[in-house]
Structure 1
Amino acid sequence: MTLVVFALVDNVHLLDLAGPAQVFDTAGYRLAYVADRPQVTSAQGLPVVAARELPALGVDDLVVVPGWRGETDLSERLLARLRRHHEAGGVVASVCAGARALGAAGLLDGRRCTTHHDLQDDLARRHPGATVVRDVLFTVDDRVITSAGIASGVDLALHVVATRHGPARAAQVAREMVVYARRNGAEPQASAMLRHRNHLDDTVHQVQDLIDTRFTEPLPLSRLAAHAGVSERTLTRLFTRATGLTPLRYQQALRVEHAEHLIGHGTTVEAAARESGFDDARMLRRLRSRFRPVPPG
């Protein structure tokens, strides 16, 4: 059974810790907590008991550094354990200010990363060799996973579950936690992806993963069905039952939302149509009246 170890410091944010811990616990992982002393106090005043030494770790195990308030940082002893675990092939992750610890351990140089929007400038200044990605929920780069902070730690953990056990298991965990949807890291504002991911059909999730990343391209039903290993008729039936849309309508919804985003930032309708995968603006104009994108947030 996979072990998830949370490396803690004083003033740790409770949700940074509790959100991912709840996800991994619900998914059946073992949890452990480590710090430089037997007890740390959260930023919200709750004491948290922890061991001083990390347990033995395998390559399938995960070390997570939740964020904290203030200038506290992990000790060099714990930073060294982070480095060794990653060098041995393991995964390390951070939530919010926890990215600073990954940077101090030398794990962000040459990699994409993110953190809470209030801390992005500081992270970029501290670690100029890193590529700080803004306006995303989480990033994944060579077994280093970073999230934007607070509730996005849940998204990070669900992503790990989806990667290791399939999107259906991640969706099941999300439903057990009463989390409305599994949000994708690189597309925090793509509301169609959120609205139509609240199901447990693994075949449909696989097809949605393909459409989500290639929605501007022609995606004939035959290609989608082959990707899922089912017939076109079966895929249409499963997809419609799970999402309320056909695969084509789902792709159109993503295209329209992308075009709306571009138009909202000053792009002409014609240019937005082309960049979103439409042959011309006429189809976009027709579809804009059918799809009502949900405002971000």
Structure 2
Amino acid sequence: MTRVVFLLVPHLHLLDLAGPAQVFSTAADHGLGHTLHYAAEQEDVPTAQGIALRADPDLPALAADDLIIVPGWRSYTLREHGALGGATLDWLRAHHAAGGTVASVCAGADALGRAGLLDGRRCTTHHDLQDELARRYPRAAVVRDVLYVMDGRVVTSAGIASGIDLALQLVAVRHGPAAAARVARQMVVYARRNGDEQQASAMLRHRSHVSDAVHRAQDLIDTRFCARLALTDLAAATGLSERTLTRRFTAATGLTPLRYQQELRIERAEHLIGQGATVESAARSVGFQDARMLRRLRARASADAAAVARRHVRDTAGDTGP
């Protein structure tokens, strides 16, 4: 079991807490092995929205696989909020030093900064607080106008709802994008946004259609995208012929079932490579027999993205406005 501990600071924003808590609670409901714990320096914690929360005033002992998340609080300037006690900051530092991951939402980045965990790292926070965060922690590299930043085992996100994106990303990193997509769909979240990347997750950006049969096919692919999937099996699961399924799938998503599966594999492989895996091991993990196909598909995806960027530049240059 992985423990997710939320460090509650007085006048925290409810959605900064509730969004990530709902993600990990839903993940636990799906059997992903998380338990949630709420800790604070005081037993009763007031929130910015007026309701008080009850937390454990004893900071728990943690294992390296556990996660600490610091939700943000209402503060027009970071310095307006009273500093956390030395024991709490030591607890944050010790967990990270022992191999654990620490994360923050919105102003919660200031708690990580006080603990010295932002020094020499990329980080972000709510757009209203970015300049002050950069002034308070000049050794940090504050990245502006992004949803979240993952720098090793220090993860920071922007304000309020971006905590959901951060939590879904952490689920995707630990359990794969299919697990994150299942959690997102359970929460009725439209998309799992990817940090400073503009595109949504491949698992969700092709879900805006209203075809039940295609959704059923996608559900099957989402859960088994690393395995060999025959078109006959997909068709049987949807009650359609192979030809009809392919036609409807392409009309609904813009992709064939095979191309959709390949996109999921590429995205998962990119996650693994970003976490230090080799291309060869990532390719095997997502179902390719060797790395050659993965390299070809990544090259094709890069070429397609470059072509789209060139068209955008050309179209923009040609649009002189009224």
**What is the TM-score of this pair, normalised by structure 1?**
0.73
Question: What SS does structure 2 have at the residue aligned with 1:77?
Answer: helix
Question: What is the alpha-carbon distance in structure 2 between the residues aligned to residue 87 and residue 197 of structure 1?
Answer: 41
152, 157, 161: which one aligns with 2:162: 152
Name the residue aligned to 1:186: 196
Question: What SS does structure 2 have at the residue aligned with 1:163?
Answer: helix
Shift of 1:55: 1.5
Question: What SS does structure 1 have at the residue aligned with 2:155?
Answer: strand
Give the paired residue count.
Answer: 246
243, 263, 287: which one aligns with 1:229: 287
Question: What is the alpha-carbon distance in structure 1 between the residues aligned to residue 122 and residue 89 of structure 2?
Answer: 19
Output the amino acid matched with 1:14. Answer: L
For residues 23-172 of structure 1, the aligned pairs below 5 Å read: 23-28=23-28, 29-70=34-75, 71-72=80-81, 73-172=83-182
Shift of 1:261: 5.8
Name the residue aligned to 2:13: 13
Cα gap change, 1:53 to 1:190, in 2 (>3 Å): same
CA contact (8 A) 2:96 2:153 kept: yes
Name the residue aligned to 1:4: 4
Report whether the alignment pairs 1:206 with 2:269: no
Cα gap change, 1:144 to 1:191, in 2 (>3 Å): closer
Cα gap change, 1:91 to 1:248, in 2 (>3 Å): closer
1:260-290 CA distance string (max 9 Å, x none): 6656886x99xxxxxxxxxxxxxxxxxxxxx
CA contact (8 A) 2:169 2:180 kept: yes
Question: What is the alpha-carbon distance in structure 2 between the residues aligned to residue 181 and residue 63 of structure 1?
Answer: 24
CA contact (8 A) 2:268 2:286 kept: no
Name the residue aligned to 1:275: none
CA contact (8 A) 1:212 1:254 kept: no
CA contact (8 A) 2:104 2:157 kept: yes
Shift of 1:229: 2.8
CA contact (8 A) 1:190 1:257 kept: no
CA contact (8 A) 1:207 1:227 kept: no
Cα RMSD of the aligned pairs, angstroms, is 3.3
Question: What is the alpha-carbon distance in structure 2 between the residues aligned to residue 150 and residue 129 of structure 1?
Answer: 25
Report whether the alignment pairs 1:174 with 2:184: yes
Shift of 1:247: 9.2
Question: What SS does structure 2 have at the residue aligned with 1:27?
Answer: helix
CA contact (8 A) 1:96 1:147 kept: yes
Q: Which runs of 5+ in 1 are unaligned?
A: 215-223, 236-245, 270-297
Shift of 1:255: 3.8
Output the amino acid matched with 2:265. Answer: Q
1:120-151 CA distance string (max 9 Å, x none): 10100000000001121111112000001211
Question: What is the alpha-carbon distance in structure 1 between the residues aligned to residue 312 and residue 97 of structure 2?
Answer: 40
Question: What is the alpha-carbon distance in structure 1 between the residues aligned to residue 194 and residue 154 of structure 2?
Answer: 17
Question: What is the alpha-carbon distance in structure 2 between the residues aligned to residue 67 and residue 16 of structure 1?
Answer: 6
Q: Larger helix proportion, structure 1 or 2?
A: 2
Question: What is the alpha-carbon distance in structure 1 between the residues aligned to residue 285 and residue 94 of structure 2?
Answer: 38
Q: Which runs of 5+ in 2 are unaligned?
A: 29-33, 209-217, 227-260, 274-281
Shift of 1:208: 3.2
Name the residue aligned to 2:309: 258
Cα gap change, 1:122 to 1:265, in 2 (>3 Å): farther
Question: What SS does structure 2 have at the residue aligned with 1:97?
Answer: helix
Shift of 1:79: 1.1
Shift of 1:254: 3.7
CA contact (8 A) 2:45 2:54 kept: yes
Output the amino acid matched with 1:176. Answer: Q
Identity of aligned residues (%): 56
Q: Larger deviation: 91-100 or 255-264?
A: 255-264
